[in-house]
Chains A and B, each alone.
Chain A
Amino acid sequence: MASLRMQGLKKRFGTMEIIPSLDLEIADHEFVVFVGPSGCGKSTLLRIIAGLEPITEGDLFIGDQRVNDLTPAQRDIAMVFQDYALYPHMTVYQNMAFGLQMRHTPQAEIDARVQNAARLLDIEPLLKRRPRALSGGQRQRVAMGRAIVRDPKVFLFDEPLSNLDAQLRGQVRSEIKALSQRLKTTMIFVTHDQVEAMTMADRIVVLRGGVIQQVGAPEEIYGRPANRFVAGFIGSPSMNFLPVNLADGAAHLPDSRTLNIGTALRGTAVLGIRPEHFIPAPEGTGMPVDVTLVEPLGSDTLVHFLVGDIKCIARVAPDTRPHVGERLPLSVAPGKAYLFDPETGARLA
């Protein structure tokens, strides 16, 4: 009922093209995350869906209805803002009730819905307070409560976790995820944080320069990135990229070493290896690297090394503790070497 469809959607600010032309369908009840670096157009796209930015060209459908000409209020969406945008002069209760009052909802129902949402979010004791008297996490909940009481067709989240400290962020992240499964409403969540994207989304939309790079489930985005950009953006630390020459099933590295990756391709390519896909090889096999820095993280250890003059990182088991300057043989987990076209960045294998 509340699916979303964008057809040939374009957005220009003056002569600046923010979104060249975008097609996307979002299914009912789906939790979709728009992710990308700052300036990739993800927030603009969200604001277009909200009706806060006019569409330059193309169509936007919510359900079967074309909503290009509808005001934000008519679109029946709710939005959680990055700075929460609570009304500072209203109590928590009034903040949550305001949208319903504007829709002339009967007072008894407003009351029931606000109480219900407050219970759901565990903010019942705060209903009489003003936003100033709330912590960041509490404000965040009120902002969500304001969206929930509206029972909208679509929930929009504009980087709602970026103002929370790291610990709280993890907690709220799982709460939003749980909430989405409970409310069964279409949700669109914008973030620049790939961890948020990976952990919450049913589907991730990776954006860059207003162009969709890839749409897919988290494991698909991670496991089969469409191109070098997606591969580099998703995953932390980032994938290592090395220009290579392919011949005889092996990749020849810039410093004329060879890494056996078993590929049928030939010619120049960019080899991509995620840090976690390096594995220490038995002495005398694999590719020996000179360790330049060791970062023990507890759960595992990051080993920095150079291939030619390219900095690379391997994530290895925590009990592997090489010393700086030590020579460590590494190999690549089978089937985990990605190859990209050096010109277009598209994935070859």
Chain B
Amino acid sequence: MQLSASSRHRGALALLSMPAVLFTAMMVVFPILYTIWLSFRTAPLGHATQFVGLANYSQLAHAPQFWNSIKVSLTLYVISLALQLTGGTYLAVLLFQAKRMPAILRSVLISPFMVPPVVVGMMFLVILDPSLGAANWVLSLFGIGPSAWLASPEWVIPTVALIDTWQWMPFVALIVLGGLQSLPPSVYEAAKIDGAPSRLVFWRITLPLLLPTLATAAILRTVDLLRFFDIIYVTTQGGPLNASDTLNIYGFHIGFELFQFGYASALAMTLTAMVFGVVLALNRLRKAVDW
């Protein structure tokens, strides 16, 4: 009796997840396998695919534009992550010290990362316009000369990093705030009794205890940052002079403008492997600092 009931139970559970399993197989697993398969073939538009071995990957390894994209992606990643983690922690500490968070402030903090990236791109195109934009006007108020922002090959990546930081730093701050609020207050009191001055408390107690939270935030941002696409596609399309040609922009260009699906697949696989590698490393770090 018992056995049949529990196997019926398990059958019902399997049935519950069946639609999602089928959907996932069709829309997630199949495309991944198909892309792996494609990455070893040429797939010119309108013709049958043909096995080419590792040719796509070796073409990738010899393409200066691919290495440029790696450099662009990593630069953007490092600058953005550094800005967002430090800025987010700073903002979180302020929020924590303020103790209460009025709903209006929370709304302000949530707004940037709920705005569609396309809209973010549109508004910064207007604000950062080299001749008529508000950004240069604000700079001029402080006596700073104008910048070409997105139109400058040197500044385009720092500018995109700033835009992304505007959008996601509040998100990081809210995560870190959650981490701060979950730290046991008695540990701070113990540090007070031990005689640690407040700056030391931050560096020796708060920050180490926040590391798992910061690692979590870093993982969430890594996943988005290494695949950076929307804002750049809307604003610069990888320009000027390929200076903002991230891996994902480059891949889109190869796949859906040149329709070299095999080559684009190899690129997509490489990018996926990169994201996986960095996330795995960060996850190990997070486990190592999970006191």
Contacts and interface: CB of A to CB of B under 8 A. Distances in A.
Nearest to A94: B204
A50 interface: yes
B194 A98 contact: yes
Interface in A35-84: 50-52, 71-74, 77-79, 81-83
Contacts of A79: 189-190, 193
B198 to A, nearest CB: 11
Interface in B254-291: 289, 291
A141 to B, nearest CB: 15
Contacts of A83: 184, 186
Nearest to B183: A88
Most A-side CB within 10 Å, residue of B190, B193, B205: B193
Given A87-B205, A89-B291, A132-B291, A77 B193 contact: yes
A83 B193 CA distance: 15
B194 to A, nearest CB: 4
A72 B187 contact: no
Contacts of A130: 291
A73 B184 CA distance: 19
Contacts of B186: 81-83, 85
Nearest to A99: B194
A52 B192 contact: yes
A131 B205 CA distance: 14
Given A83-B184, A87-B187, A89-B291, A72 B192 contact: yes
A167 B37 CA distance: 64
B209 A71 contact: no
Nearest to B208: A89
A86 B208 CA distance: 14
A165 B192 CA distance: 29
B195 A99 contact: yes
A165 to B, nearest CB: 21
Contacts of A71: 192, 195
A89 B184 contact: no
B195 A78 contact: no
A73 B195 contact: yes
A83 B190 CA distance: 11
Interface residues of B, number: 20
Nearest to B195: A73
Nearest to A158: B186
B291 A88 contact: yes
A50 B189 CA distance: 10
A66 to B, nearest CB: 19
B200 interface: yes
B36 interface: no
Most A-side CB within 10 Å, residue of B196, B197, B200, B291: B291
A132 B205 CA distance: 16
Contacts of A108: none
Contacts of B187: 85-88
A81 B200 contact: no
Most B-side CB within 10 Å, residue of A77, A81, A103, A150: A81
A210 B64 CA distance: 77
A73 B194 contact: yes
Contacts of B204: 98
Contacts of B205: 87
A102 interface: yes
A123 to B, nearest CB: 17
Contact of B190 (A74, A87, A89, A132): A87
Contacts of B196: 73, 98, 102
A130 B289 CA distance: 12
A-B CB proximity, top 9 nearest: A73-B195, A99-B194, A85-B186, A88-B291, A85-B190, A102-B195, A89-B208, A89-B291, A72-B193
Given A73-B196, A102-B200, A146-B194, 7 more contacts: A52-B193, A83-B184, A85-B186, A87-B205, A89-B208, A89-B289, A102-B194
28 contacts: A71-B192, A71-B195, A72-B193, A73-B192, A73-B193, A73-B194, A77-B193, A78-B193, A81-B186, A81-B189, A83-B186, A85-B187, A85-B189, A85-B190, A86-B187, A87-B187, A87-B190, A87-B205, A88-B187, A88-B291, A89-B289, A98-B191, A98-B196, A98-B204, A99-B194, A102-B194, A102-B195, A132-B291
Interface of B: 184, 186-187, 189-197, 200, 204-205, 208-209, 211, 289, 291
